[in-house]
Amino acid sequence: MTVTMFRAKLHRLRVTEADLYYEGSITIDEELLEAAGILPYEKVQIVNVNNGRRLWTYTIPAAHGSRTVCLNGPAARLAAKSDEVIAIAYAEMTPEEAEHHEATAVLVGENNEIDDVLALSAEERAHPEDMPEDVPKEAVVA
């Protein structure tokens, strides 16, 4: 048996553009992908903070340091420029592996700059109330 665990996320990315006529996917600054450990062309779930919509797609790397976050193809209809989204990658693992699993959360600022990188351990059982004062509580639960 395996369980699906949250592996990495880019938290509160700001959509910089939407390209309805591109083939599909989400284009994200390569620096942001690397910080989270999310691979180019990896399947991710996108959660739109502004309207609650969720979708599955794959990542395409944008130029390193560009701060680009662009929803492409039909997904472009699910977000507007400046919407906040969360990109989440998951992993399948055994319950034994999950006990020692460490996830990565990259918190970004208003211009998609990296504010902080958190290592979230299943062993520590992190809860919002256990986080430092300056870390948004929704960063742990979204």
Q: Residue 22 and residue 11: Cα distance in Å, rounded?
A: 24
Q: What is the pLDDT of residues 73-101, one digit of tens each?
A: 999 999 999 999 999 999 999 999 999 99
Q: What is the CATH number of the domain that holds 57?
A: 2.40.40.20
User: Domain tally for the chain?
Assistant: 1
- Residue-number span of the structural domain to which 109 is assigned: 3-141
Q: Residue 139: its pLDDT value, please?
A: 53
- Global pTM exceeds 0.95: no
Q: What is the pLDDT of residues 114-124, one digit of tens each?
A: 999 999 987 66
Helical (H) or strand (E) element with 139? helix 138-141
CB 110 within 8 A of CB 16: no
User: Is pLDDT at 7 greater than 70 in this prediction?
Assistant: yes
Which residues are the active-site residues?
Answer: 25, 58
CB 110 within 8 A of CB 14: yes
pLDDT band at 55 (very low <50, low <70, confident <90, very high): very high
Facing residues of 102 across strands? 121
pLDDT band at 24 (very low <50, low <70, confident <90, very high): confident
